[in-house]
Structure 1
Amino acid sequence: LYKTFAGIESSEEVSRWITAITEGDNGTLWVGTYGNGIYLMNETTGKTTNLVHNPDQIHSLSNNYISALLKDHQGNIWAGTAWKGVCKFNPHAYRFSHYQHTPHNPGSLSNNIVWSFLELPDGKIWIATDGGINIMNPSTGNFTTITYKQNDEYALSGNNTRSFCIDRKGNIWIGYLFSGLSCYNPSTRKLTHYRNSPGCSNCLSNNTVWDILMDRNGKLWLGTFDGLNIFDPETSTFTKLPEGTSENGLSHSIVFSLLEDKKGNIWIGTNNGLNQYDPLQKKFSHFFSTPGCKNCISNNNVFGIYEDDNGILWIGTMGGGLNRLDPKTGKFTVFNEAGGLANNVVYDIVPDNNGNLWITTNHGVSQYNISSGQFTNFDVSDGLQGYEHNLGAAFKNSKGELFFGGMNGFNILNPEKVPDRKIPAPLWISGFRIFSNTSYREYQNNDTIILNYRDNFFTFLFSSIDFNDAAKMQYEYRLENIDKRWRRTDAQSAMAEYTNIAPGNYVFRLRSISPYQGIKQQEIKINVIITPPWYATWTFRITATLAGLILLTLILIGRIRRLRKKHAMAQQLLDLEKRLFDTERKALRLQMNPHFIFNTLNAIQFFIFQNDKLSANRYISMFSKLMRQILINSQYNTIMLKDEIDALELYIELELLRFGDKFEFRIIVRPDERILEKYIPSMILQPYIENAIRHGLIYREEKGLLKIEISEKEVGKVMCVIEDNGVGREKAEEIRKRTKPEHVSMGTKITESRLKLMSNLYKSEMTVTVNDLKDENGNASGTRIELIIPTFEK
């Protein structure tokens, strides 16, 4: 069956010398000629198209003399030319329409820095730039401008335009950088200007208007660099909403973006958090980024805000990626570079007619498919005006076309014409490196690499045979039993490095991720076996274990014999140490008890001489309780901390009776009273409390304070702090030398001796630290004693 193509028209004589033929997609036949370029012949329609070199188009053929044609696995057509190299045609490529300023062309865009778009009812597009307003005629692609002229009612207030809004009467509101607000009347073509006036409460609060919103009631909301303003067109007055962190205030004065949701709430993106304003209740709700909070907004610098058909809010942030907010739950979900987003600086979000989101970033534009959760990224290689975009410069017109502006003009995109690029690119491991030695060879799926245990520093090198978007490819890899999760890298770092891997069997898995739709494509699996050294083999281990067991048995037999001899001596020595300890403890208690009893009887005698029978009787009653408590406690090496504190309270009460409320005391237990159930050596604290009272507090002129604080220092230890605000140790010693030079206090020394003996016996350190307290003038203001005491089993 033969088919004849006719009707090929050319201004030149058609060359009869056909040099190459190949079949493209959809039955298109590519015919290369020597002198007339390439002819595309559609077998279905019979239509013929001639591709030739055009010096005014950088993407045309480099030469009309074709020597070879080839179609690769991705559908690309490669054309070899005479003297001008190789040309590649990508049938799946889509290039954005790019509009920018062209010198010597008055009909082009007047300024390349684009900030906002607005479509009028007649279909014309207004474009805010740093060179005034450009008005685009979509049918011709030409631009007219409105610019600033001094004292001209038909001119702008300034050329640095930033935002647009059209009201119910068809008036166009224009926000500026540093030049306030203007209202353009399309009928008269005149502009009314509004500026900040110092001291005017009903005027615009700031001359930088970043965003303008008309609500359902016809009022204008103005986001400025000094607060949020509400403008009433009927009264021509401005009202600035208050600021602050409470429900009555805006969280920050710099406002970037505004949105009215389906319920009539106003959402405000600021330099410090996302705000929701209820116009009926006149209250704000704030959303802030909180470290460690997974359901919070990811960054406090909030840029663009969009509400989809389901009432879900999509929020762009400066460095925190894209955020999804469900207003019903108040929870945020974050999408960032790790999940496929082009860049974490997100300016604006606009939808297309298919429900996809288009997101402008600092590194191109991302398309997000809400259903699949996948991103498709576009950059300058796709025809974008640049990597960086501007806040507010994203827009969808009535035809469903998308506009994206930045620092080098703007692009227009028809989402319906973006081809579906899902052709997989072959993935291969191109090399394997051990330390610095690289073996460049292709490894097939399920290949096995066997390494010596010394070769445990290795690297896999890989790439994807993608002739269109190799630089955009990403990869995920994982070494089983080493990596707990997949690790991601890009085409610039297409390698997987592993260091100090132990001998064993591993599986290296690698998969590529398409830059379009984020599709995870084919996967390669490589088995890695690292052999152990001879001394780590099972044969050597079993032999060595048996030999070790025999040797250990012989050692144990000899050890047991020696231990039996030592055991009898050790048991005798242990009994002696315990008896010695008990004897010393009882001796110490006998030294302490007479001292305390002597002081107590003196106090009782004093009350009797004073004929204070009530105090004497109360003193004797409390004294008997204390003595009974001491006798009970003396039966045990350790007592419950609660019992120790009970005895201390009785002792301190006795001293208070004796000294006539010369001081007051407090006992503090932290963190709770469960610590009181622990066991400590008995009567450890009383001598220190006695010293605090007898040598510190009683010499104080004003009423003193004795504070005892019990807390858990660490597991198995408690800290007891005894602090008084008496005269201090130095002054107390001076008083003692004057009044009782022959008296020597032994209570604390005996207690310290007990602590040392118990530390040696129980192998647990007990420490005592004494600190002299000073006031702000350096004078003595009391004493603080810190005891760290181990706790014991009952």
Structure 2
Amino acid sequence: MKQFLILLLLLMCNVGHAQLPNITFEHISDAEGLPSRTVERAIEDKDGFMWFGTRKTLTRYDGYTFQNIGNKWVFGVATNGKGDIYYSSAAEKLLRVDPRSMKEHVIAGFEEGGGYNTFTDSFGDVWFSDRKQVNRYCPSEKKIYVYPLKQTSFIYHKGGFVEDKQRNVWVLGMEVGLFQFDRKANKLICKMGLDCPVSGEKYQYQMHGGIIDTDQKLWIAMAFNGLMKYDIRTGKVKIYKHGKFRLLSVCEGTDELGKTILWIGAAEGLGIFRPDTEQFSFFEGLGPRPFEVHDLKLGSKSNILWVCTSEGILKYDPKNQFIKASRIQGQMPANAMLQDRSDPSGQTFWIAVAYQGLYKFNIKTNRHTFFPFPQYRNTSETRWLIQDKYNKIWVGCNQWETWQDGKSDPSDNRFEGVFHFDPVSGHYDALPFDIHHTFFSVPFYSLGMIDSKGRFWITNHYEGIHIIDAKSNIEVKLWSDGAQSNLLAGGNWIMHIFEDSRSQIWLATYQGIFLFDESARSFRRVNDKYGFMQITEGPDGNIWAVGWSGVVSLDSSGRTLKSWSGKDGLYDLECRQVVVDSSNRVWVGTFDGLHVLDEKRNHFRRFTVNDGLLSNNTMVSVLLAGDDKLLVGNLGGWNILDLKRLDKTGGSGNIRLTNVRVNNRESIADWSKPVALKSHENAVSFSFSALNFRKANDNNYSYYLEGFEKKWIDAAHAHQAFYTNLTPGQYTFHARLTGVASGSELSIPFTITPAFYQTIWFRVLSLLLVAGVVGVIYRSQLSYQKMKARLALEELEIQQKEIEHKAELVAYQLKLSEMEMSSLRSQMNPHFIFNCLNSIQFFTAQNDGERASEYLGKFSRLIRLVLENSKSDQVTLDNELETLRLYVEMESMRFSGKFQFEMHVDQHIETHAIQIPPLLLQPFVENAIWHGLMHKEAGGTVALFLNQPHDHLLRVIIQDDGIGRQKASEYKSKSATKNKSYGMKITADRIKMISQPLQVRTSVEVIDIKDRSGNALGTRVILNIPV
């Protein structure tokens, strides 16, 4: 390089401030699915997808969703002509991602500090840097070439990369210098910096991002030295210093007028540099918090600028700039607006801002002039604006300072809630009529209107309406006091007054919509379904009203035509503003966005701060300015919408497939080619995108599945299609943007292969096989029928004999069972009486006359029950339990309460309905007392549990905590205790006998209860009795 470079390097310019473009940015953060707010790099691939390197992962963005790959902090990302994605991370220096499978493969592994600034050149080589050097990976050779750089005390990555039209790669070597790659010599040639052989070129700058513009000038962002312009042909250098900002990245673009600018990313935010005026300017308030710009990327296909920051992504779309903003000082709301009729050009507007005054605004020049209120500025909340036939401006306010009574200066009362402004003189004039204590109890003038007859309507929301004649300036009465009282009854508020093209006066109130009938001097309610806030008229003469529940259209008589709410796509239901433009589009101002209704398509679009609105709250004021402009009042200013550009904001682009799921699992097949699915893979969903990165409601799609559907499906904003239970066959999925002439259509062919049993050859073979089997069966059937005829008579004779034999056997068994039951019952009853008499004998021997008498009383009742029960084969369970209770009480008296008796009957058992043989349970209880408890010194407890597992089985459990069967056998003697066991055996036989005619399985099970050491804890008897 020539020696005069020294002088050029020293020629540094201190530049002024450039005018910022009047543009809007969309902010994308983790709330929209971005995996991390810290975004380091961006790249656009060959299909138009955007890839972002973030603090947490590499992610692909299709305008709707982010698809993440890996979990590394990504410092560089690049793509080649084949669509492969390369990236560098804090862990591995270089990785490659297959965009179809989304699988990553490590090329250069771990090194402290990781890799940075990934870049692909036109030869397909991949460049990346680290803290010591820059590296070049050649995919064809699968080899990495290393180019060491001079080491300094500055620890940071050593290079960024750009390529000129001659396919020369330039290396921005951070603090080391600027290098050009000599491909033939395979080495870096120092053009400026510490490694340069010429001492005069040894200048040290902290070079970050760079670009080569259309004029082949290399622009380099330098952290502490501003912006460098380097002529790669001549080596001429010019530096534009900016002392306040540390520049990190630069990108060439254009402003809203098409003029060339350089986008500048800095540690302190985003700005521009205008090469023609050599001036910088930086934006303010673009995000919720201050941010650092890491990278700038202009999409070659979408022409969208992507700004990678520490607080997410800023997106500037030149095609979506139909909303402009005009800002004023402070954050007061622009509550009322009107178009000045005296300006034939239609460019002048008057805007009333609460607690400030009037603004005269020229929509063409975007300039305004301020006329502050002459009095009570800090307490005057503007509510309305009207212009009279003399072009004077009337401003109505809610005056938040009450009447100025007692003031020595009577002029204090001139502007209590209403201001009268002369645009010609630029002064506020006195009112032509007195309003001091005239109309309302407080100076709240909520609504104002001049009707077609020149009458001035002044309204307080909750105190009513007053009308002033324009000629006499005297109040006139158009209705009775009773009519107004009825209007305001029940706490009703008047929220808006509107006169339509037919001179009808409409009132929007909390309790519905009213029409004023002047001839009847009354107000007629025409809609009482909702609380309404505002009314307007469309070009077709229909009335539109908005309120707390949505939007309503009415005809001229007030009859409701249709209503819209949240289910129809209205995002927010607090609707306070409504206008209808010349295309019959209905604009609705809500708390959360500005909505526009296309009545023909029955579809809402929503606009927010991401589209350029100053705030999502658009309930302040909305004004239609001619046929092509819409003004929206907001906090701290107002927005201007260019309606001519509205339809041009609709989506266009080439549809791309973004995801396919088969049987609800993500498919990794190459869907750019025909895909064959198995027969069971018959549930397929397709996701697609126009990749124009517009808002979701700007794109309208349609699709259909060839081979399944006959016509296109209008999907509106939906960008997914779902199909289930598809039969085997050939299909092609089609998707396109609706209503867009340009752009390609998506076509995805695929086949669902049939299972072997669904093929034609299988069906033919199956048919032949079935025919053969039918023939064989037919011949066999003929032989069988002949044989069947011969055997029929023999079989009938045998069956007849078997029936007769079974009948005789059943009769015999029934008679035998009756005889056995009678015999057993005759044994049972004397046995029980004998035991009772033994008890009486034992008790009488105790010489206790009183207790003997009680005992004999119980015995007599027991004998009576036993005698009554012996007359029948079955008694009720109630009867049986009463008999058992008497017996146990007698035994307890005899043994002086040595044992306890518990009876537990399941509440679902109907004891009065169940029939069982008499004296069936007593022997088992008796056995528990005599064998289980008599030999236990401390006594014990006998418990009886009854439940019913099902309708035909009664389960009885008798359990004692006595000495157990083994110990009891040791105490047995030849006394009557042997008879106790005999009674239990008789009862068991009876239970078995009961089961025979009923053919029910019964059982008597005796269980020894023991502890873990084998010691006896008692005995449990389980009886299953059929009922």
TM-score, with length taken from structure 2: 0.39
TM-score, with length taken from structure 1: 0.49
Larger radius of gyration: 2
